[in-house]
């Protein structure tokens, strides 16, 4: 089969034989880079050689199933496990093939506000992660997974996108030259996130510390990153509560390293899942699919 | 005398006789709109007729005394009252006149992070405000003022600038058409700010509610505004604690109305200070100044 993880800003395709990846393609042609109605042609071209070699089963996950994607794949409500996800695939006409899209998941937070994910469910399944799982990114997901691998619920935190917006659009960014990551400044930001006061107040401190030469301009971005990730981690990590202080991280090596650092600083422990979680998840869901 | 409130994006001059304003000028020539070394020429032109009429005493407050302004006026540490501020003016050479700048104030929050204000101290003095005083804006100030009018300390909240950055730079803004303010949506945002969960999570809800048609696009900006102002107000308002549930607001009519609405929603009470607080403050400080 062929597995495709098609997100907002990236396209990754895997040729999968006996649950193992035998070939792969990656490009920056995320759904935002493809013209409307251009998905079919792009896919046919990208995986043409594999189709020519006889592959007919294709499973896609990620934002390709969103309203801005190829065909909208309805959200499946949590709790959801691999079997129920494999039952809820959306078929897409694609001449000569059986092409399906993995549903995103929806849920509600503790007071009923809706929550959505697309693509992360496939990574979680592929990693075999349980307990508290965090997928850091522009919109980080904090997911509760039962011991049997069922996704019970999750919440989204916008720290990544907010970091970028603060840097681009506010007075904080005007004092932030491009500079290499500074672990000491990052740690100071994480520590600050545990002090009294609201995040909206802590943010002004980035500027005030700079005004009084207590934070160098080239340290500011790392400090701000630590401040935001620290607030995020503290909202979900509850050291002392049994089983709630360990986090499984799924994401880029760089982001996972930052989150590990912050989680340890806040009294928790972290492990990082496998790099190919999306491919493994597509293979697993595919193995439970009744293909035509 | 002449009082001048010269901020980042506005210039306001008042001719003051016997503590009353007899003439005024307002323009959008804030310090960011003036070329370096252009402050003297701009001022001389703007208040030329008053100088020709014999005025020689000029007192300025606001960002004109910052590092990006005309001459840096050192911060005066809190606690500070009108007399100590009048003792700490910075003189600026300005041919034929005695020109001085009111110092900004500095302080620290409860854990020692620095805090700064410039211009707000003059408005507080002019309004004769005591207790909890809030000056809403890009960088809102929440100030504690003793019964005798001494400014004891303060904290800065970046909600206004963050609202603008989120609207311009994030996916939240892409779903926000220009629309008139919607009080019902604003109130929903304020209510949401009191629910469990971190602000970073509540922000994603703006998008998720929209995806599920539970928040109309034209309501989103008002909801986001209520969410941020609600978080801000709840960080400083402590209903039930004696004397801590009343807030005096100093600022634009529009912003003060929003903050009043949020404060009442959160169980507090609010009153709005006089519109000409800056002019009154400059007059008061001027009356305690030993002019040459």
Residues 6+ positions from B173 with CB-CB distance below 8 Å: B166, B167
- Inter-chain contact B235–A198, Cβ cutoff 8 Å? yes
Predicted confidence at residue B37, as pLDDT, reads 87
Prediction ipTM score = 0.88
Which residues lie across from B12 on neighbouring strands? B5, B26
What's B28's DSSP letter? S
B-chain residues near A231 (CB < 8 A):
198, 200
pLDDT exceeds cutoff 90 at A107 = yes
DSSP secondary structure letters along B53-71:
TT--EEEEESGGGSTTSSS
The pLDDT, as a whole number, for residue B95 is 85
Strand partners, B246: B269
Which member of B113, B198, B212 has the closest CB to residue A114?
A: B212
Average pLDDT over residues A52-64: 97
Q: To 5 degrees, how large is the angle CA A38–CA A40–CA A46?
A: 100
What is the least distance, in Å, from the CA of A289 to any CA of chain B? 28
Q: Using one digit for the tens of pLDDT, what is the confidence trace for A186-205?
A: 999 999 999 999 999 999 99
With CB atoms and an 8 Å threshold, state whether B199 touches A199.
yes
Expressed in percent and rounded to 5, the helix, strand and coil fractions of chain B are 40, 25, 35
Distance CA B120, CA B218 (A): 33
**pLDDT tens, residue by residue, B32-75:** 899 888 999 999 999 999 999 999 999 999 999 998 899 999 99
Check if the beta carbon of residue B32 is closer than 8 Å to that of residue B62: no
Contacts with B32 (C-beta within 8 Å, 6 or more apart), sequence order: B8, B9, B68
Q: In whole angstroms, what is the distance from residue B227 CA to residue B221 CA? A: 10
Backbone angles phi, psi at B76, to 5 degrees: -100, 130
| Element (DSSP H or E) covering residue A132 | strand A131-135
Q: What does the block give as tokens for A68?
A: 């801005």
Query: How far is it, in rounded angstroms, from Cα A252 to Cα B140?
Result: 37
- Put simply, the answer to whether A196 touches B157 (Cβ < 8 Å) is no
Give contacts of A164 with chain B, Cβ < 8 Å.
169
- Kindly give the residue spans of alpha helices, DSSP state H, lying in chain B: 39-46, 48-52, 82-87, 120-127, 159-169, 171-174, 183-193, 199-211, 217-236, 253-265, 277-287
B208 contacts in chain A (CB < 8 Å): 113-116, 156
Looking at residue B171, what is its pLDDT?
85
Confidence class for position A19, pLDDT limits 50, 70, 90: confident
pLDDT(B238) > 80: no
Q: Are strands A140-145 and A131-135 parallel, antiparallel or unpaired?
A: antiparallel
pLDDT one-digit tens code per residue, A202-246: 999 999 999 899 999 999 999 999 999 999 999 988 665 655 689
Grade residue B190 by pLDDT with cuts at 50, 70 and 90. Answer: very high
What average pLDDT does chain A have? 94
Query: Is the separation of the CB atoms in B100 and B92 below 8 Å?
Result: yes
- The three-state secondary structure class of A151 is strand
pLDDT of residue A37: 87
* B153 burial level (CB within 10 Å; 0-12, 13-18, 19+): middle
Length of chain A: 292
> Is the pLDDT score of B93 beyond 90?
yes
**Residue A39 pLDDT level (bands cut at 50, 70, 90):** very high
A11-17 and A131-135 strand pairing: unpaired
Q: Shortest Cα distance from A106 to chain B (angstroms)?
A: 10
Beta-carbon contacts below 8 Å between A and B: 131
Region B158-186: mean pLDDT is 91
Give how far Cα B157 sits from Cα of B89, B130, B132, B143, B186, Å. Answer: 27, 20, 14, 11, 19
Rg of chain A in Å (alpha carbons): 21
Task: Give, for A41, the enclosing helix (H) or strand (E).
Answer: helix A39-46
């Amino acid at each position: 089969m062929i597995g495709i993880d098609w997100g907002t800003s990236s396209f990754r395709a895997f040729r999968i034989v006996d649950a193992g990846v035998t070939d792969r393609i990656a490009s920056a042609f995320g759904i935002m880079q493809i013209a409307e109605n251009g998905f079919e042609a792009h896919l046919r071209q990208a995986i043409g050689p594999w189709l020519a070699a006889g592959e007919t089963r294709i499973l896609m996950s990620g934002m390709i199933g969103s309203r801005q994607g190829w065909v909208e794949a309805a959200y499946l409500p949590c709790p959801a496990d691999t079997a129920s996800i494999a039952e809820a695939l959306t078929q897409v006409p694609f001449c000569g093939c059986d092409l399906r899209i993995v549903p995103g998941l929806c849920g509600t937070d503790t007071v009923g506000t809706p929550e959505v994910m697309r693509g992360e469910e496939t990574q979680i399944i592929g990693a075999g992660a349980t307990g508290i799982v965090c997928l850091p990114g522009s919109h980080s997901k904090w997911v509760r997974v039962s011991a049997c691998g069922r996704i019970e619920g999750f919440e989204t935190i916008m720290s990544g996108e907010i970091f970028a917006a603060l840097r681009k659009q506010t007075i904080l960014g005007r004092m932030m030259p491009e500079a290499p990551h500074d672990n000491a400044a990052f740690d100071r930001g994480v520590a600050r996130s545990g002090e009294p006061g609201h995040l909206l107040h802590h943010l002004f401190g980035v500027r005030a510390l700079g005004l009084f030469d207590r934070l160098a301009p080239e340290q500011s971005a790392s400090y701000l990153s630590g401040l935001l990730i620290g607030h995020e981690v503290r909202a979900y990590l509850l050291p002392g509560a049994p089983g709630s202080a360990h986090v499984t991280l799924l994401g880029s090596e760089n982001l996972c390293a930052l989150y590990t650092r912050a989680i340890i600083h806040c009294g928790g422990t972290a492990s990082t899942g496998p790099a190919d979680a999306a491919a493994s998840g597509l293979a697993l869901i595919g193995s439970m699919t009744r293909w035509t």
